[in-house]
Amino acid sequence: MCAEGRHEIAPRSGVAFTLDRGDRLTVIDPRGEQVADLLAFNRHDTDEVLSSGRTLDYASRIYLTTGDPLYSNRSNVLLRIVEDSVGRHDFLLTPCSADTFRIIYGDADPHRGCFGNLAAALAPYGIGPDRIPVAFNCFMNVPVDGTTGTFHVAPPLSRAGDHITFEAQADLIIGLTACSALQSNNGSFKPIHYRIVRAGKAA
Ligand SMILES: [Zn+2]
pLDDT beneath 50: ranges in the chain = none
* Strand ranges across the sheet with 162-168: 7-9, 192-197, 24-29, 162-168, 77-84, 69-71
- Which DSSP letter does residue 17 get? E
Q: What is the CA(87)–ligand 1 centre distance, in A? A: 19
Q: What is the CA(200)–ligand 1 centre distance, in A? A: 33
Q: What is the pLDDT of residue 5?
A: 86
Q: What is the pLDDT of residue 199?
A: 92
Please report, to the nearest 10 degrees, the dihedral formed by the alpha carbons of residues 161, 177, 169, 167 taken in order: -10
Q: What is the pLDDT of residue 202?
A: 55
Q: Report the DSSP beta bridge partners of residue 71.
A: 77
Q: What is the pLDDT of residue 1?
A: 61
Helices marked H in 60-102 — which ranges? 98-100
What is the tens place of the pLDDT at every residue in 43-62? 999 999 999 999 999 999 99
**Distance, CA of 200 to CA of 202 (rounded, Å):** 7
> Where exactly are the structural domains of the chain?
3-197
